[in-house]
Amino acid sequence: MTRQVTTQHPGALARRTIVALWIWLATDVAQGLSCLWEAVQLNQLSTQDAARAMAEKAAGPLDVMDCIALAYPVTFLICGCFVLRWLYVVNRNAHAWNDSLPMSPGGNVGWFFVPIVHFWKPLQGVRQTWSATVDPARPDTVPVPGWIRLWWWLWVATIIVGNLSFRLSLKADTPDTLIAVDAIFFATLAIDVPLVVLLRRLIVELSGMQAARLEDRTTLA
């Protein structure tokens, strides 16, 4: 017997989340390309000239690269808020159809902020949400698509690489270290682009299945 849990049609939230995803990815690509441009420019200079260029840039006014660098974390945080809100809603919907699911909507969001376990616990919540949406009566029998696991491992990879590049950026006081940081950030586009594509697929497919189930219940009522 399931307890009464509020459900919410995920369609509108899913669309807003996808828009936020594309905005963040656009900023991410712009940041990556600007890092590539900076690395190429520094690499063409001698060590002394490159160091002088770095000092002049640091002392000068904000330029386009600086604006992009400031916009990147802002769009990431906004996008993250939309994604976490969407995860909360779809997990709560799944609980309305099966009240024996082990992870609560709040837990599915909260585990993202707990060190170490954030590498695997949120995926457990996504898997249970997917399975309970496909077959609420027998979620344990529902196989989780491999692309969902791939999406998650890309997310883990971008966390690790992002932490590495951030730590290096704090020590980027020479042309060689700055070029290394720029190269790493540009390389993360190979992770972030498929990550966004797969996350969009997850949002579209899971939201679509939940919307169909909610609409069927409305029709039957």
pLDDT tens-place string over residues 183-194: 999 999 999 999
- Amino acid at site 103: M
State if pTM tops 0.85. Answer: yes
pLDDT tens-place string over residues 12-57: 999 999 999 999 999 999 999 999 999 999 999 998 998 998 888 8
- For 82, the domain range is 11-220
Kindly state whether residue 167 falls inside one of the protein's structural domains: yes
Kindly state whether residue 4 falls inside one of the protein's structural domains: no
Residue in 13, 5, 8 with CA at minimum distance from that of residue 204: 13
- Cβ–Cβ contacts within 10 Å for residue 54, how many? 18
Kindly state whether residue 177 falls inside one of the protein's structural domains: yes
Kindly state whether residue 5 falls inside one of the protein's structural domains: no
Tokens for 24, please give them: 């963040």
Q: How many domains does the chain have?
A: 1
Residue in 144, 176, 215, 192 with CA at minimum distance from that of residue 21: 192
